[in-house]
Amino acid sequence: MYLGIDIGSSSSKAALLDDGKKILGTKIVNLGTGTKGVYEALENLYAEAGITRADVRYTVVTGYGRLLYKDADRQITEITCHARGMHFLMPQVRTVVDIGGQDSKVIRLDEDGTVRNFVMNEKCAAGTGRFLEVMARVLGCSIGELAVLAAQATEDVAISSVCTVFAESEVISQLSQGAHPNDVACGALRAVAKRVAGLCGRVGMEPEVAMSGGVALNATMVRILGEELGCDVTPAPDCQAVGAIGAALLAREFYRKANPVETA
Amino acid sequence: MSSVQSIIDALCEKALHPDRTVAESCKQAGKEAVGFYLYAPEELAYAAGFLPVGIWGGSTEIKLADRYLQGFCCSIMRADIEYGMRGTYNRLRAVMLPTVCDTLKCICENWKVAVPQVPIIPVVYPQNRTLPAGEEYLREEFSRVRRELEDLAGQSVSDAELEAAFAVYEAWREAMRAFTKVASTHPQTVHAKARHLIIKAGSFMDKAEHTREMIQLTRLLAELPEETCAVRAVATGLVGEPLGVLDSLRENDVAIVADDLAQESRQFRVPARAEGDALSKMVWRIADQKGCPFLYEPEKTRGQKLIDLVKENKADAVITLQMKFCDPDEFDYPIYKAELEAAGIPLLYLEVEQQMDSFGQIGTRIQSLAEMLL
Amino acid sequence: MESALTSKQLLAKLQEEHYAGAMQAKKEGKLVAWATSICPQELLETLDIDVVYPENHAAAIGARKDAPQFIANAEGKGYSADICSYARVNIGYTDIQFSEAENIPMPDLIFCCSNICNTALKWYENLAKLLHIPLVMFDMPFNHTFDIPEHSIRYMRGQIEHAIAQLVEITGKKFDYDKFGEVMKVSSDAALWWRRATDLGRNHPSPLNGFDMFNYMAMIVCARGKESTRDLFKLWHDEMAEKVRLGIGPWKEGEEKYRIMWDGIACWPHLSVTYKTLKKYGINMVTSTYPESWTIVYEKNDLDGMARAYSANYANRNLDYGTGNVIKLVRDFDLDGIVYHSNRSCKLMDFRQYEVQRRIEDATGVPSVVFDGDQTDPRVFSQAQYETRIQALVEMMEKNKIKKQRGDLK
């Protein structure tokens, strides 16, 4: 059995794979790096698959918290893992978008699923989950509720500022002028989508485009990103676990490479 | 006899403590220091009996400089003004700053007010540097700088002294080119951080002294067996900093085997022409510098130069160290990016600032590059 | 009949003719150049090359709120969001080649002058490389001394001679020095009338509303070497002189309560809100540094004088000159305050602003505020911040007025 772990800034994900590349299970816990989240996810995963830690031959850890996790055999970046996971789940995909809490990234894949090129957001928070968090705070809701509000929007309120601080004051003044929170929420999603579209341009986007990560659960965000890119965007199945699945696939690969006889 | 490692360690130590190194160098040579950044007619200052030392900013908290500069100013220049105001540069008799971008024009002007205790000598490099009128202008500009330095030194500089100073610098440049060549085959001993610091040490030492060290180091290095590494990269940008980036490169076994950095190879990659007097040679070294974002070049050969560097050094990728808010570099990037893509050379873009303290995401990018090239 | 037009109508007509004329010229296979705003256009006019100005075009696109698509295009190619937004808009336009706002023909050559900034040089270098067309570049060294150094003038003159040779080769035409002399004269005259008109802002109340000046500026940028431009500014001047005679102020309704200078270019995408906020408080922008920037006046056939004039604009001069210039404006125009636009696009203007502001305040006691904005990128502006700063300025100006009335302040 092979284990992939993806420790993000706000959630921990784990995936289990067998020798035949069959996914035995995935688990997501909404606690990120520096918490007990990852151990909780693993416990649940083992229990559900009816195995113990001793059954795991090889573990790869990825994500923002990968360097702090000491029980893995190897750590690999989320770029490589998302690419690998996505190619496994949706082999036709050439561009992967992942909007993370700290970092957003766009990855260009070759036909065989290897990374051709990638870009990440710069230091500025616009275009990341952090921007959505700030917007949600102004609207007095959670990020999850932001999506619900946005889905009911009747029009977009344009949030033009790129700077998160400016955008915050812009949104406050929009609200005080009577803009509907639904429309402001929609505007916040569009502002992020525009930034991510910029990253797509830089990496040289090619169809098909798919989204991984928790933000892909937000159907409004997926739709708006598609509008900004001028093409269809598909959320990956089990989108939150794409990085963990990629890590598990790599774990299997590394193990087999190191033990060619046993796995032949 | 010194070993390779002891020479490297000593040079790194010097580069890490500019203040101390400059003080020691001044004492040893019996000279006073004059600061410079990027391009400057260092030979003139050297001939006038000064020790030219680099002022390449540094990783420091910006407080005082906010009086003059908005937050979207290049972090090297913010740091220079900060150090100047704080008195860190009080040892310098003057600084020479080249007016090669809009920011530097303003920095020269602000310097007059912000750091009045250290006189500023702006050097206006002509952009039409290959036209006869441009060459003539630069000659006259250098002559003006020479007069200002002579006033500062209280003595005139003879042509013979200038020729001698130029010879010291030309020997240094040759030694540096020889070093980078040998270093490229020893990416473990001369890893990214060591390479940067060894070169940077020259900014704070008497060039004659640095040349001696470099010649010895190069000779000893050449006797060692060649080494390999995971990724051989060519770096481009202003400076190979902050150091956190270089640590991250080393952790991922990514070596810098050649560079197109303003602080490193661009200082010494152009050899002097054979003919002419020292002043003419100085003018032509600027005319002959190609692929530099600070010097006008309608053909824009930087991309091709990078491709050549990759080939010559059997490199796997190019790494852009983009100093945030450096306009000239930012304008060049999309052009050479497209050219490298067309040539199938992977390019990693890292936006950096001198006052950075978190390298998590940079580390992820560097590791991803290494994984991508596996 | 042409004489029946007001200057505003004539401005609109000339602007339309300028852009339509360039498109037509391209269609007819004539050479079209793209040029920077304060360049020696006399050379192009003499050789009958049609010229359009990407800065003016980008401003028009910005004012009509069409900039984001071009900015997104350029940033998608790897251009940093930190570089000049005129450059980003224009580079985006070279790819998309259509705007609802205004269109320009693609160039056959590029004509660039570094007296406005080094950024233009990098921008045009890229254009020439991308479009595979010749680039004529004038380098006007920054003047760190108050006066323009002699060796600098010789260098510029050498470049003018080189540029003429380049242009003769590109066009295959002979350079007609008689015509050149004529164009020099018309250009100087147009610049003089521009200056005379904008100088009327000194009157109380000022017949000039500075946001109008931003509009009229289009023609001093785009067609300085044409007689029609000279005539436009003369007409504008005469209209305002008549207003002065009648004691009419800048607006139809509302009186001019405060007189300010605006430092830096307009926030084109937020032109209306920046203007209306000022007007709401009775603030009239009576001048800026731009009237002087285009006062490019020299004797006919004096190439050294021409070089000196082009090198002498505000942006290319040292702090002492800049300060003296603004102090003079404060006195000549009897200003109550100054608004500094910290324009994210323009590092050359920005990074001297703080020191200039302090010196002007010390020398004149006139209050001022700085706000963050951008000339064409709508994302770098906060209406709330702008409004607060302007309100703060009003409070300071009011306090000064009371002091003045009491006689505490001269």
Instruction: Assess whether pLDDT exceeds 60 at residue A92.
Output: yes
Percentage of residues in chain C having pLDDT higher than 90: 87
Distance CA C308, CA C286 (A): 28
- Choose among B286, B273, B262: nearest CA to B125: B286
Q: Using CB atoms, which residue from A166, A170, A201 is nearest to C75?
A: A201
Cβ–Cβ < 8 Å for A117, A153: no
Distance CA B192, CA B214 (A): 17
Listed range (B67-76, B187-196, C247-256, C294-303) with the worst mean pLDDT: C294-303
Q: Using CB atoms, which residue from C72, C73, C379 is nearest to A160?
A: C379
Instruction: Assess whether pLDDT exceeds 70 at residue C410.
Output: no
Distance CA B292, CA B268 (A): 13
CB contact under 8 Å between A122 and B351, yes or no, is yes
Percentage of residues in chain B having pLDDT higher than 90: 95
Cβ–Cβ < 8 Å for B204, B25: yes
Cβ–Cβ < 8 Å for C356, C181: no
- Choose among B279, B257, B258, B280: nearest CA to B268: B258
Beta bridge partners of B341: none
C282 confidence band (pLDDT: 50, 70, 90)? very high
Cβ–Cβ < 8 Å for B328, B293: yes
Nearest residue on chain B to A67, judged by CA atoms?
A: B360
* A23-61 core/surface letters (b: 16 or more CB in 10 A; e: else): bbbbbbbebbbebebbebbbeebbeeeebeeeebbbbbb
Q: What are the tens digits of pLDDT across the range A146-181?
A: 888 998 998 888 887 766 777 787 888 888 888 898
Q: What is the mean pLDDT of residues A44-62?
A: 94
CA triple A2-A6-A10, angle to 5 deg: 155
Query: Is A162 an interface residue toward C (CB < 8 Å)?
Result: yes
Q: What are the tens digits of pLDDT across the range C287-346?
A: 998 888 888 888 888 889 999 999 988 899 999 999 999 999 999 999 999 999 999 999
Q: What residue has token string 């676990």? A: A241
Alpha-carbon dihedral angle through residues B278, B279, B280, B282, given to the nearest 10 degrees:
90
All residues at 6 or more sequence positions from C114 whose CB lies less than 8 Å from its CB, including other chains? B127, C120, C121, C137, C138, C139, C140
Q: Using CB atoms, which residue from B122, B300, B337 is nearest to C78?
A: B337
Residue-level pLDDT at B186: 98
Question: Which comes out higher in pLDDT, residue C406 or C73?
Answer: C73
Distance CA B207, CA B201 (A): 10
Contacts of C76 in chain A (CB under 8 A): 197-198, 200-202
Listed range (A105-109, A163-167, B285-289) with the worst mean pLDDT: A163-167
Residue-level pLDDT at B122: 98
Query: Is B299 an interface residue toward C (CB < 8 Å)?
Result: yes
Q: What is the mean pLDDT of residues B232-237?
A: 98
Q: Is B320 helix (H, G, I), strand (E, B) or coil?
A: strand
Q: What is the mean pLDDT of residues C14-20?
A: 95
A vs C, Cβ pairs < 8 A, gives 41
Instruction: Assess whether pLDDT exceeds 70 at residue B253.
Output: yes
What's the order of all strands across the beta sheet hosting B32-36?
Answer: B50-54, B32-36, B95-98, B120-123
Query: Is B126 an interface residue toward C (CB < 8 Å)?
Result: yes
Cα distances (angstroms) measured from residue C279 to each of B76, C255, C256, C374: 41, 9, 8, 20
Residue-level pLDDT at A191: 87
B contact test, residue of A9, A66, A120 with most B CBs within 10 A: A120
Q: What does residue C93 show for φ and ψ, rounded to 5 degrees?
A: -65, -35
Longest dimension (CA), chain B: 60
Distance CA B44, CA B308 (A): 33
Instruction: Assess whether pLDDT exceeds 60 at residue B1.
Output: no
Q: What are the tens digits of pLDDT across the range B304-357?
A: 999 999 999 999 999 999 999 999 999 999 999 999 999 999 999 999 999 887
Cβ–Cβ < 8 Å for B149, B141: no
Q: What is the mean pLDDT of residues C130-146?
A: 96
Write out the E strands in chain A.
Answer: 2-7, 12-17, 23-29, 58-62, 74-75, 95-99, 104-109, 115-120, 209-212, 233-235
Q: What are the tens digits of pLDDT across the range C177-224?
A: 999 999 999 999 999 999 999 999 999 999 999 999 999 999 999 999
Residue-level pLDDT at C301: 85
Read off the tokens for A247.
């890590």
Distance CA A25, CA A5 (A): 12
Contacts of C122 in chain B (CB under 8 A): 293, 327-328, 331-332
Chains in contact with A via at least 3 Cβ–Cβ pairs below 8 Å: B, C
Q: Using CB atoms, which residue from B99, B106, B112 is nearest to C351?
A: B106
Contacts of A76 in chain B (CB under 8 A): 367, 371
Q: Under an 8 Å CB criterion, which residues of B touch A?
A: 324, 341, 346-347, 349, 351, 353, 360-361, 363-365, 367-368, 371-372
Mean of the per-residue pLDDT values of chain A = 89
CB contact under 8 Å between C114 and B127, yes or no, is yes
Query: Is B56 an interface residue toward C (CB < 8 Å)?
Result: no
Mean of the per-residue pLDDT values of chain B = 96
Residue-level pLDDT at C1: 46
Mean of the per-residue pLDDT values of chain C = 94
Query: Is A172 an interface residue toward C (CB < 8 Å)?
Result: yes
Distance CA A135, CA A165 (A): 10
Read off the tokens for C357.
């502001």
Q: What does residue B52 show for φ and ψ, rounded to 5 degrees?
A: -75, 130
Write the single-letter amino acid at C276. Answer: K
End-to-end CA distance of chain A: 15
Read off the tokens for A91.
């082999």
For residue B349, what is the enclosing H or E element? strand B347-352
Residue-level pLDDT at A10: 84
Cβ–Cβ < 8 Å for C119, C83: yes
Q: Nearest CA of chain C to the CA of B148: how many Å?
A: 14
Annotate B207-236 with three-state secondary structure: HHHHHHHHHHHHHHHHHCCCCCCCEEEEEE
Residue-level pLDDT at C3: 57
A121 confidence band (pLDDT: 50, 70, 90)? confident
Residue-level pLDDT at C144: 95
Distance CA B327, CA B163 (A): 35
Q: Nearest CA of chain C to the CA of A201: how many Å?
A: 4
CA A91 to chain centre: 18
Above 0.90 for ipTM, yes or no? yes
Q: What are the tens digits of pLDDT across the range B41-98?
A: 999 999 999 999 999 999 888 889 999 999 899 999 999 999 999 999 999 999 999 9
Q: What is the mean pLDDT of residues C78-82?
A: 94
Read off the tokens for A204.
């040289």
Q: Using CB atoms, which residue from B324, B353, B371 is nearest to A76?
A: B371
Predicted TM-score (pTM) of this structure: 0.92
Q: Nearest CA of chain B to the CA of C155: how many Å?
A: 5
Instruction: Assess whether pLDDT exceeds 60 at residue B362.
Output: yes
Read off the tokens for C99.
């705007």
Q: What is the mean pLDDT of residues B176-183?
A: 98
CA A213 to chain centre: 2
B358 confidence band (pLDDT: 50, 70, 90)? confident
